[in-house]
Chain A
């Protein structure tokens, strides 16, 4: 597709359930980033991928969060045993390469996750 695609657009889940959020980056973009935006807050960096590799997972808020990327394309962010504090908009972005930096990221429309 022409842009970064995220699905679902909105997700409502019960506390304790697992959820999977999907990101399909721009074709040919080797770098992919996940951010979390809590209500009224800025963007919190979660994790990035270079190809299928995630060199630094320290931004993930807890061990309930995991992410993977297969085939150098689609990425999935999984939250296990969801908690109410996980409610947020999860944004995905991609760039042609990870480095050298130009700072130009292309963002998707995000997934709004609501944990009840």
Chain B
């Protein structure tokens, strides 16, 4: 079974600074998908960024980028120019990419990020 580990329960960063959230995972699959979701106080899970394991290039979405290290099974999220609206829980998630598993996701325990003014 796949596992996803987020080792930082809480983090804080000053507004406009850069912060990196860590995620490691365990799988025997070779083709899979990794995600970062944001959960603000509204509770809705919002997709931040998505990475396909067979792509070596790290995904980027505006101020959000990932450092995907496939051999190390590491998938960290970097938030540049942090904004107050980035304050939220961040979840790393894994999809095993197999037809039978469909779109089911396995989530890490989350990192609570506080952006300070």
Total A-B Cβ pairs within 8 A: 77
Q: Are B102 and A48 in contact (CB under 8 A)?
A: yes
Interface hits, B45-96 → A, CB 8 Å = 45-47, 50, 91, 93, 95-96
Residues in chain B near residue A107, CB distance under 8 A: 44-46
Residues in chain A near residue B28, CB distance under 8 A: none
* 0/1 string, B13-40, CB within 8 A of A gives 1: 0000000000000000000010100000
Cβ-closest chain A residue relative to B97: A101
A45, B101: Cα distance in complex, Å: 12
**Which single member of B4, B43, B98, B104 contacts A91 (CB below 8 Å)?**
B43
Cβ-closest chain B residue relative to A44: B107
Cβ-closest chain A residue relative to B47: A104
Q: Does residue A42 face the partner (Cβ distance < 8 Å to B)? A: yes
Residues in chain A near residue B104, CB distance under 8 A: 33, 45, 48
How many residues does chain A have at the interface if contact means C-beta atoms less than 8 Å apart? 28
Q: Are A101 and B103 in contact (CB under 8 A)?
A: yes
CB distance from A67 to the nearest CB of B (A): 15
A40, B110: Cα distance in complex, Å: 8
Q: Does residue A31 face the partner (Cβ distance < 8 Å to B)? A: yes
How many residues does chain B have at the interface if contact means C-beta atoms less than 8 Å apart? 29
Q: Does residue A103 face the partner (Cβ distance < 8 Å to B)? A: yes
Residues in chain B near residue A42, CB distance under 8 A: 4, 6, 91, 107-110
Which stretch from A12-20, A72-80, A92-100 is at the chain B interface?
Answer: A92-100
Q: Does residue A25 face the partner (Cβ distance < 8 Å to B)? A: no
Residues in chain A near residue B6, CB distance under 8 A: 42
A31, B29: Cα distance in complex, Å: 23
Q: Are B45 and A100 in contact (CB under 8 A)?
A: no
CB distance from B61 to the nearest CB of A (A): 13
Q: Does residue A109 face the partner (Cβ distance < 8 Å to B)? A: yes
**Which single member of A31, A93, A95, A110 contacts B43 (CB below 8 Å)?**
A110
Residue pairs across A and B with Cβ atoms less than 8 A apart, 20 shown, are A40-B110, A41-B109, A41-B110, A42-B107, A42-B110, A43-B91, A48-B102, A89-B43, A91-B43, A98-B103, A99-B99, A99-B103, A100-B99, A101-B95, A101-B101, A103-B93, A104-B50, A104-B103, A105-B103, A107-B44
